[in-house]
Structure 1
Amino acid sequence: MTVTIYDVAREAGVSMATVSRVVNNNPNVKPQTRKKVYEAIERLGYRPNAVARGLASKKTTTVGVVIPDISNAIFAEVARGIEDIANMYHYNIILCNADKRKEKEIRVVNTLLEKQVDGLLFMGGTVTDEHLQAFKTANVPIVLCATTDEHGVMPSVDIDHEAAAYDAVSALIAQGHRSIGMISGTLQDPANGYARFQGYKRALEAAGIAYDESLVRVGNYRYESGVEAMKFFLERDKHPTAVFSATDEMAIGAVHCIQDFGLKVPDDISVISVDNTRMASMVRPQLSSVAQPMYDIGAVSMRLLTKLMKKEHVEHARVTLPHELITRQSVAVLD
């Protein structure tokens, strides 16, 4: 049979109110009494009923996290940052994979809200009007993590994706490259796709290099699309001297395609990307990449959410974290 708080109280020889105070870490309990209650809890194997406590306090100490692709290492790093801060503030996490599909994202958001989570962290692609409508119906705080909404109405934590792409392409230009291809993410994605594409174009414009639409291929963030895009570039009459990829995974696909064609990185073609996942330093040659502080994005998002859940003062609800260009071995100086 299920052990109840009444059983613990009887075993310890105290009132149920005293057991409740001990379980809830109330300081107004004598150390000797607290010890007796803990010993009774251990002997009986009592576990407090989180659902019942949530009903009484109207708090579940649970946070829902919507993640776009649980198999993607970059989101795993964000989730680690979320989890560490959640543990620090005694919150539990419900992690849901949404496959970057709008219908599933909205369904998962509604499911988590039905589970009476105290707050929600949303990682996804485009934040549409349908997303915003679902968020508006929530009576708990919601923070966008590693993404932002177009109108800037939601609390969020992210980097400046356009600036990150601008810095990556500018690094290629500084090494003498003028013919620079781009392997882009979908342009419907405001951050990893469109913003990074805009950064690429702005860097070319700043250097007086004409934008060439034929030097841009749209991928789906995966390795295979990087291979396909690079194959397209290499089969041209004259391939670009450098390629900027919107993600490390597509960049590694591009590197392997170049090598499959019997060419060398960076001797024949330079490659640079954004994200700086662990894969960037595992591939050979090691990949130059703009680092997103993914762990920090997760940690800061969770800390912002805790403040909102506790109704603490928040000075900046939209946080932009710094990025950093990590130079490795995949970019060469063009003679």
Structure 2
Amino acid sequence: MTVTIYDVAREAGVSMATVSRVVNNNPNVKPQTRKKVFEAIERLGYRPNAVARGLASKKTTTVGVVIPDISNAIFAEVARGIEDIANMYHYNIILCNADKRKEKEIRVINTLLEKQVDGLLFMGGAVTDEHLQAFKTANVPIVLCATTDENGVIPSVDIDHEAAAFDAVQALINEGHTRISMISGTLQDPAIGFARFQGYKRALETAGITYDEDLVRIGNYRYESGTEAMKYFLGLANRPTAVFAATDEMAIGAIHSIQDSGLKVPQDISVISVDNSRMASMVRPQLTAVAQPMYDIGAVSMRLLTKLMKKENVDHAKVVLPHEIVKRQSVSAR
């Protein structure tokens, strides 16, 4: 049978209110009484009912996290940052994978809110009107993690994706490359995909290089789309001397297509990306990439959410973290 707080109180010879104070770490309990209650809890194997405690306090000390792709190492690093800070502030995490599908994201958001989470972290792709409508029905704080909404209304933590792409392409231009292709993410994603595409175009424009739409292919952020896009570039009469890929996975796909064709990286074609996941140092040659501070994005997002949940003062609800280029072996001078 389930052991209740009443059973613990009877075993310890104290009131149920005293047991409740001990379980909730209330300091107003004598050490001797606290010891008796803990001994009774251990003997009976009592575990506090989190649901009942949540109903009483109107807090569940639980945070919902919507992650777009749990198999992607980038998001796993963000989740680690979230969990470390959550543990520090005694919050539990419910992690839900949304498979980068909008309808599943909306369903997961609503499910988490129905479970009475104290706050919500939304990680991933485009924030659409449907997302905003779901967020409006929430009576708990929400923070966007590794993404932003177009109007900057919802608190968020991310990097400047346009600036990151600009810096990546500028690095290629500084090495003498002028025929630079891009393997882009979806342009329907304004926060990441379109922002990185705009950074690519702005870098070309700043350097006085004419934009050529034949040098752009749209991928889906994954390895296979990188291999296919690179095959297309290799088939051009005037192929590119450098490739900017919007993610490490697509960049690695591009490297493998180049190598499969008998060409070399970076001697024949240079490759650079944005992300700097663990895979960037595993591929050969090692991939030069713009590093996103993924752990920090997760950690700062969770800390911002704790402040909002506790109704603490927040100076900046839109946090932009710095990025940097990590130079390895996949880029060389033209």
TM-score interval, smaller chain: over 0.9
Q: For 2:263 and 2:39, how far apart are their aligned partners in 1?
A: 69
* Superposed CA offset, 1:295-330 (max 9, x none): 110111111011111111111000000001100000
Name the counterpart of 1:185: 185
Residue in 2 aligned with 1:197?
197
Residue aligning to 1:167: 167
Q: Tell me, yes or no, if the aligned pair for 2:149 and 2:191 is still in contact at 8 Å.
A: no
2:206 alignment partner in structure 1: 206
Partner deviation per Cα, 1:137-161 (whole Å, 9 max, x = no partner): 1111111010000111100000000
The offset of 1:33, in angstroms, is: 1.7
Secondary structure class of the residue paired with 1:328: coil
Write out per-residue CA displacement over residues 36-73 of structure 1, whole angstroms, 9 at most, x where no aligned residue. Answer: 21111111110000000000001111111111111111
Structure 1 residue 224, shift from structure 2 partner? 0.5
Partner of 1:275: 275
Letter in 2 for 1:324: E
Query: Residues 1-335 of structure 1 correspond to what in structure 2 (within 5 A)?
Result: 1-334=1-334
CA distance in 1, matches of 2:195, 2:284: 28
Runs of 5+ in structure 1 lacking a partner?
none
Q: Deviations over 1:160-207 (max 9, x none)?
A: 000000000000000000000000001001133100000000001111
- For residues 202 and 264 of structure 1, the distance between their equivalents in structure 2, rounded to whole angstroms, comes to 28
User: Aligned partners of 1:31, 1:44: CA distance in 2, in Å?
Assistant: 20
Q: Match of 1:140, as an amino acid?
A: V
Runs of 4+ in 1 over 2 A off after TM superposition: none
Q: Structure 1 stretch 47-56 or stretch 188-197: which is displaced more?
A: 188-197
Rounded Cα–Cα distance in structure 2 between residues aligned with 1:77 and 1:2:
38
Q: Distance in 1 between matches of 2:105 and 2:27?
A: 42
The structural deviation recorded for 1:124 is 2.5
Q: Match of 1:191, SS?
A: coil
- In 1, distance between residues paired with 2:103 and 2:206? 39
- 2:143–2:156 Cα contact (<8 Å) kept: yes
- Per the normalisation by structure 1, the TM-score is 0.98
SS at match of 2:192: helix
Give the SS at the match of 2:193. helix
Secondary structure of the structure 2 residue equivalent to 1:226: helix
Aligned counterparts of 2:23 and 2:323: Cα–Cα separation in 1: 43
Deviation string, structure 1 residues 77-119 (Cα, Å, up to 9, x no partner): 1111111111111111111111121111111111111111111
Q: What is the DSSP-based 3-state SS (H/G/I as helix, E as strand, rest coil) of the residue aligned with 1:104?
A: helix
Provide the aligned length of Structure 1 versus Structure 2.
Answer: 334
Distance 1:239 1:30 in 2: 78
Question: Residue 270 of structure 1 aligns to which amino acid in structure 2?
Answer: S
1:12 Cα shift? 1.6
Which of 250-259 and 185-194 deviates more?
Answer: 185-194
Contact 2:150-2:191 at 8 Å conserved across structures: no
Q: CA offset at residue 74 of structure 1? A: 0.5
CA offsets 1:245-299 (integer angstroms, 9 cap, x no match): 0000000000011000011100000000000000000000000000000011011
Alpha-carbon deviation of 1:133? 1.1
1:242, CA displacement in angstroms?
0.3
Supply the distance in 1 between the matched residues of 2:263 and 2:216 (Cα, whole angstroms). Answer: 21
Alignment partners' CA distance in 2, 1:192 and 1:155: 16
Paired residue secondary structure (2:173): helix
Q: Which runs of 5+ in 2 are unaligned?
A: none
SS for the counterpart of 1:105 is: helix
Contact preservation (8 Å) 2:258, 2:264? yes
